[in-house]
Amino acid sequence: MSFDVVTCSTIQWQEKPPLNELTKRPTGKLLIKPSVIYLMIKSHFMEENMKKKRNTYKVFIGLFLLLILVMVTASVVGAANVRIIDSFKIFLSHIPSIGNSIDLSGVPAPHITIISSIRLPRILLAFLVGYGLSVVGVAFQGMLKNPMADPFIIGTSSGAALGAAIAILLKLNTAFLGMGFISVFAFGGALVATLIVYNLAKIKSKVPVTTLLLAGVATGQFFTAIMSFIMVISSKDITSIVFWTMGSFASRGWNHVKIAFLPIFIGTIILYIFAKDLNLLLLGEETAENMGVEVEKTKKVILVTSAFITAVAVSVSGIIGFVGLIIPHMTRMMISADNRILMPASGLVGGIFLIIVDTFARTIISPTEVPVGIITALAGGPFFIYLLRTTKKMI
């Protein structure tokens, strides 16, 4: 690393450099102590780190402001003509610390009901699901060292779809713990699929990446085959099963938000704790282990936590593909490849993205709703092709 002699004025050559007594040639020595050089290098890196931190703060402040703007805008888009200022007041009224001080006397009662009971929980749920799936996508891509990895790579979505199909087949329409039995069965199916994949992939006390991927593909195909068989023997339920597998936030309320919030919030914090270890895993498992990372423990924690977050997300929204694949890549290209920054940034971008997609889904051909998964696939398909082309050029 070189330093500018103008800015680092303490490093100077003598006008007449000292001569070697034997060769009578300049010795080429710097008139500075090693300790001073060390302090200058340390100061240089501290300055660079401060610049990076300032830029990171700016990025996150920008994302938070964009999130607020998107949430308020999404809340006023729809059949009911709600003013932005009224929507913003209703949003503020739901914040515990300041909610009681917000005056809603000038806001029409129907608008309060529409925002508070229908649109706001839907927006928050879309954000939670987008946040969770994006963070899991970052974790899987880092752990598996595979740019094509996403939250559904270990068969979680197939297990959830099978669970939902069984609930639809059995006509289980009653509620359980604030959710329909379809969501409960989907959650259970996702966990069962993860458990099967983990046990198939485990070799003694280790979980090799190759066997994990193979077990995920095999289990996913098996569960998909069973679901297809259910659709054949129960043709009346095909529409319901297919619509559920496409993903939607229609008819979702505060119960779904309450159930999804804690698991996704706690799960993403756990994954963030292992973000530094994920950075080291990118150097190779052996190198990471030599640098103090407990590789197998890290992989198991990431696998179990990611599967749990995915199961919760799928149970409240259905299967929404491509979010956990394209958002981490977009964020990595635009912001940073450091997982400590990439995880929360991807989560925010994913949440914002899914709010926008859901707003399109419920308004583009209103009053009919388009499944969210269709729009994410339309957006993600071309990006996936771009990734494939980029990967081919790198090989």
pLDDT of res. 287:
87
Tokens for 57? 């703060």
In a domain, 307, yes or no: yes
Q: Would you say residue 213 lies in a domain?
A: yes
Which token pair is 183?
A: 């969501």
Task: Assess if residue 126 is contained within a domain.
Answer: yes
Phi–psi pair at 170, nearest 5 degrees: -85, 0
pLDDT at 23: 52
**How far is it, in rounded angstroms, from Cα 166 to Cα 226?**
10
Domain span at 272: 122-394
- Contact 362/250 with Cβ under 8 angstroms? yes
How do residues 351-390 score in pLDDT, each as one tens digit? 999 999 999 999 888 788 899 999 998 888 887 787 777 7
Q: Give the H/E segment covering residue 98.
A: none
CATH at 380: 1.10.3470.10
316 and 252 in contact (C-beta within 8 Å)? yes
Domain membership of residue 19 (yes or no) is no
pTM confidence score: 0.81
pLDDT the model gives residue 337: 87
User: Alpha helices of 117-237 — where are they, by DSSP H?
Assistant: 120-144, 156-169, 181-201, 209-233
| Mean pLDDT of all residues belonging to the chain | 83
175: phi then psi, degrees, rounded to nearest 5: -95, 150
pLDDT at site 275: 93
- Whether 280 and 298 have beta carbons less than 8 Å apart is answered as no
Q: Is residue 63 in a domain? A: no
Whether 124 contacts 329, CB under 8 Å: no
Any domain includes 169: yes
Q: Angle of helix 339-363 relative to helix 34-76, nearest 10 degrees? A: 10
CA distance 209 to 31: 54
Reduced to 3 states (helix: H, G, I; strand: E, B; else coil), residue 379 is helix
DSSP, collapsed to helix, strand or coil, labels residue 149 as: coil
When divided into structural domains, the chain yields a total of 1
Cβ pair 85, 103 in contact under 8 A: no
Indicate the angle between helix axes 238-246 and 156-169, nearest 10 degrees. Answer: 150
Output the tens digit of pLDDT for each of the chain's 395 residues: 444 443 444 444 444 555 555 555 555 554 555 565 556 655 655 555 566 667 888 889 999 999 999 999 999 888 777 888 888 888 888 887 787 788 788 888 888 888 988 899 999 999 999 999 999 999 999 998 887 788 888 888 899 999 988 988 887 766 655 567 788 888 899 999 999 998 998 888 788 888 988 999 999 999 999 998 988 888 787 888 888 888 889 888 888 899 899 999 999 999 999 999 999 988 888 888 888 889 889 999 999 999 999 999 998 998 998 899 889 988 988 888 889 999 999 999 999 999 999 999 998 887 888 999 999 988 888 877 877 777 666 55
What confidence score (pLDDT) does residue 3 get?
Answer: 43
Q: What's the confidence (pLDDT) of residue 349?
A: 96
- For 341-366, letters b (16+ CB in 10 Å) and e give bbbbbbbbbbbbbbbbbbbebbeeee
Note whether residue 79 is domain-resident. no
- Is position 90 within any domain? no
Q: How many residues does the chain have?
A: 395
Question: What is the bridge-based pairing of β-strands 175-176 and 179-180?
Answer: antiparallel
**For residue 343, what pLDDT is reported?**
95
Secondary structure of 54-84 in the HEC alphabet?
A: HHHHHHHHHHHHHHHHHHHHHHHCCCCCCCH
Separation of alpha carbons 140 and 134, rounded Å: 10
